[in-house]
Structure 1
């Protein structure tokens, strides 16, 4: 414990990991929710039914909450580049700085500007204007992901630059933006956002369903979310495979850590379970399927795959990457089973059964688990490099005393724990309140801006 508290590098890495872990939960939901809200709004405009608009009204409140928390934690992330990792901006600031600025200028302002119209536009602006505002917010969330993932991909597979006096200078912005890994990473992340949102909506809707709230808004939200999840998860598996092949080409050490592969060999087995031991450079308690890893990595049972021993001083921590990858894959397979079982149940009977509704409730936050696990594979798997082949993590860390980093880390962890509990509690409170309103409790128009706006517009029209 004392060695940990005296290690500025390790403490800075843990602090950044804590911040990114908490932060990424909310932009992922914002991206997926924005597009789902657009779908709800278009269906409401086209069909004219109250159910779609009620679903829109409920989930736009959740979107506003996720957006607010995402903004605050994003600011914290930006500060850390200067406080914890000054060597990063000194070395690659000419690339990272503009990309982060573009994210704020083209994405954040777009989202923030039109969010108010989404929240309070009912009865004040036309349906078309509110729908357009929803589209622009959804576009803003996706642009935000574009710029951030362009930077992340450049750090994984840097291109389009040259080093002059120890600093990176851009030679081609197109090459910087569209690195070899960017198309796979961007697509994989957007689908992850969609799945995270789909299971959140399905889980909360199933929770309301089990409590007797069988209103139209619950039905349309539940059905839409299950359909989205069932469609996206097979596509995500295909994209994930392509992403893995791209990673094998450009970052073979990361793939070796994911597979728990120490020696370069042919006919590599797929390790289902093991405890990787870096001291002995071997796997303890290994359970594997012969030759399967060679098949899905290189589509040949006898293909050769490089092992970790080919990268003695530049491979990532094996245990963390190995198990993060298996958690991501395991949760993905659960998503496939639950989404398809729920879809078949809805298609056959028109409603959920006790088992499928319970499964969806249990899977409410499964997208977060898979998302964070996948992010760990990506980011820890890049170690010991901060920018692959350009800047080592140890060369960019701060000179701030470790005890100060430890103090701020403890403060962050406490704050994030409180915020996470508050977010989840508020989410279920909103769901409970929506169910109570639907089940006969008279809604106070003044307390609900949507109903108040509708009533105001209706009275104005009669006048």
Structure 2
């Protein structure tokens, strides 16, 4: 069993890496779909502005992919170095999706390169659009396969341990574990939602800075519509996730909801503070937890009283759950109001204060993603493989994790600042107006 200092630093370093990586991974999954849809609409409507959206988004997407590769590699390295006992099991049972994730990424990267270097080389733009299909599929399947590994950690199956030896190993059964459907679906739609709100945030910010170009208005309306669709989808799948937790990880649901006593007709607790197991200042929705868990107002919901103290997750995950849900609801309302307001031509959606709300929507969506992942990972504590292997059994005994933590923190700081600087300079030097003027001049030259 690993010493406590090694376990602590291993947990901090893993959390830091995942926190940083999830930003670029989410963008890497969602943006290809946005690019493909924008270009498809541009071709269908013969609208140069949508074509330009696809072109500019693809250019910025390459930078985020590069950062995602570095941080993804760091995760693979850290799994082997920090959690060797876990990797002994994972290497024999769940290695298949890890391999398939690498293949999906290369599939995406190859076609992304071809797509970027063949702009304006197709007379029929529909053929160029076809190159985006494997890019979007590769990005999404990359997320699917790596999420399957995480789902396996929450609901391990496909093997038995007899006298310390793995027997009856079935990689396919391990992949299709009970957590897989809801977790994969939630990761995908939340990535699409977050990417849409990030792009909407950029468009609104450019409009606040004085640009009244049609490009930004169309980009804002397009991405806010997608944000509304995917925020609703995220909420629906989140409901299914709650029902999964009630059946397979009831201790996580109970900790997230501060549900201490098993009871029927359990209320849903939002916000509040906890003082000596007494909830204060909370909003209680009668029978809400029973409906969330079992779709029945009088259903019994298992409480924390049914679990040993050393198997109860940290109760602060309640705040993560609340923040995630609050942000999701807020973004759904914001995008709904914007879409309806645009349709009805309401003047307030053109105001500065409303645009600032949209600008804030992008960072809030990222925070929502972070809260969801933190709740998932912290909520599994003390298990790394739920019910089979504890975190302190899986961690390394190395005494140099604190040094690794400092080195990787420095790396992420450089990568984070560098990506922001590169992206801002890239688009500052190539404005929408300049690109449209250049393309018009190019077409005029070709016409002559």
TM-score by structure 1 length?
0.88
Instruction: Find the aligned partners of 2:128 and 2:338 in 1 and give their Cα distance.
Output: 32
Instruction: Find the aligned partners of 1:150 and 1:376 in 2 and give their Cα distance.
Output: 17
Instruction: Find the aligned partners of 1:222 and 1:433 in 2 and give their Cα distance.
Output: 21
Instruction: Find the aligned partners of 2:153 and 2:40 in 1 and give their Cα distance.
Output: 38
Structure-1 residue corresponding to 2:31: 33
Instruction: Find the aligned partners of 1:413 and 1:283 in 2 and give their Cα distance.
Output: 38
Instruction: Find the aligned partners of 2:287 and 2:126 in 1 and give their Cα distance.
Output: 56
CA separation of 1:458 and 1:388: change in aligned 2, threshold 3 A: farther
Q: Deviations over 1:93-113 (max 9, x none)?
A: 1123232111102x1111111
Instruction: Find the aligned partners of 1:265 and 1:76 in 2 and give their Cα distance.
Output: 44
Q: Per-residue deviation at 1:219?
A: 2.5
**Do the aligned residues in 2 keep the contact of 1:260 with 1:283 (CA within 8 Å)?**
no
What secondary structure is seen at the aligned counterpart in 2 of 1:319?
coil
Structure-1 residue corresponding to 2:326: 330
Instruction: Find the aligned partners of 2:121 and 2:385 in 1 and give their Cα distance.
Output: 49
Structure-2 residue corresponding to 1:292: 288
Residue among 103, 119, 122 paired with 1:122: 119
Q: Per-residue deviation at 1:192?
A: 0.3
CA separation of 1:203 and 1:462: change in aligned 2, threshold 3 A: closer
Q: Per-residue deviation at 1:91?
A: 2.3
Q: Does 1:411 align with 2:407?
A: yes
Instruction: Find the aligned partners of 1:25 and 1:206 in 2 and give their Cα distance.
Output: 20
Q: Per-residue deviation at 1:170?
A: 5.9
Q: Per-residue deviation at 1:185?
A: 1.0
Instruction: Find the aligned partners of 2:118 and 2:83 in 1 and give their Cα distance.
Output: 42
Instruction: Find the aligned partners of 1:41 and 1:291 in 2 and give their Cα distance.
Output: 46
**Do the aligned residues in 2 keep the contact of 1:204 with 1:428 (CA within 8 Å)?**
no
**Do the aligned residues in 1 keep the contact of 2:231 with 2:332 (CA within 8 Å)?**
yes
Q: Deviations over 1:359-406 (max 9, x none)?
A: 1011122221111111111111111111111211111100110xx211
Structure-2 residue corresponding to 1:380: 378
Q: Does 1:340 align with 2:336?
A: yes
Residue segments in structure 1 that go unaligned for 5+ positions in a row: 446-450
Q: Per-residue deviation at 1:120?
A: 2.2
**Do the aligned residues in 1 keep the contact of 2:242 with 2:292 (CA within 8 Å)?**
no
Q: How does 1:216-231 map to 2 (within 5 A)?
A: 216-231=214-229
Residue among 259, 278, 283 paired with 1:283: 278
Structure-1 residue corresponding to 2:109: 112
Instruction: Find the aligned partners of 1:309 and 1:78 in 2 and give their Cα distance.
Output: 37
Instruction: Find the aligned partners of 1:89 and 1:129 in 2 and give their Cα distance.
Output: 43
Q: Per-residue deviation at 1:287?
A: 1.9
Instruction: Find the aligned partners of 1:335 and 1:441 in 2 and give their Cα distance.
Output: 31
What secondary structure is seen at the aligned counterpart in 2 of 1:180?
coil
Structure-1 residue corresponding to 2:97: 99
Structure-2 residue corresponding to 1:215: 213
Which piece of structure 1 moves more, 187-196 or 310-319?
A: 310-319
Q: Per-residue deviation at 1:322?
A: 1.1
Q: Does 1:308 align with 2:304?
A: yes
Q: Per-residue deviation at 1:160?
A: 2.4
Instruction: Find the aligned partners of 2:373 and 2:165 in 1 and give their Cα distance.
Output: 27
Structure-1 residue corresponding to 2:314: 318
**Do the aligned residues in 2 keep the contact of 1:247 with 1:254 (CA within 8 Å)?**
yes
Which piece of structure 1 moves more, 39-48 or 81-90?
A: 39-48
Residue among 234, 237, 240 paired with 1:239: 237
Q: Does 1:146 align with 2:144?
A: yes
Instruction: Find the aligned partners of 1:400 and 1:373 in 2 and give their Cα distance.
Output: 30
Instruction: Find the aligned partners of 2:250 and 2:310 in 1 and give their Cα distance.
Output: 11
Alignment RMSD, CA only? 2.6
**Do the aligned residues in 1 keep the contact of 2:196 with 2:226 (CA within 8 Å)?**
yes
Q: Deviations over 1:11-53 (max 9, x none)?
A: 1011101001111111111111101101112122222221111
What secondary structure is seen at the aligned counterpart in 1 of 2:156?
coil
What secondary structure is seen at the aligned counterpart in 1 of 2:316?
helix
Structure-2 residue corresponding to 1:196: 194
Residue among 132, 152, 155 paired with 2:153: 155
Instruction: Find the aligned partners of 1:343 and 1:137 in 2 and give their Cα distance.
Output: 29
Q: Per-residue deviation at 1:266?
A: 2.8
Q: How does 1:447-458 map to 2 (within 5 A)?
A: 455=442
Structure-2 residue corresponding to 1:82: 80
Structure-2 residue corresponding to 1:67: 65
Residue segments in structure 2 that go unaligned for 5+ positions in a row: none
What secondary structure is seen at the aligned counterpart in 1 of 2:272?
strand
Structure-2 residue corresponding to 1:182: 180
Instruction: Find the aligned partners of 2:423 and 2:327 in 1 and give their Cα distance.
Output: 22
TM-score by structure 2 length?
0.91
**Do the aligned residues in 2 keep the contact of 1:274 with 1:286 (CA within 8 Å)?**
yes
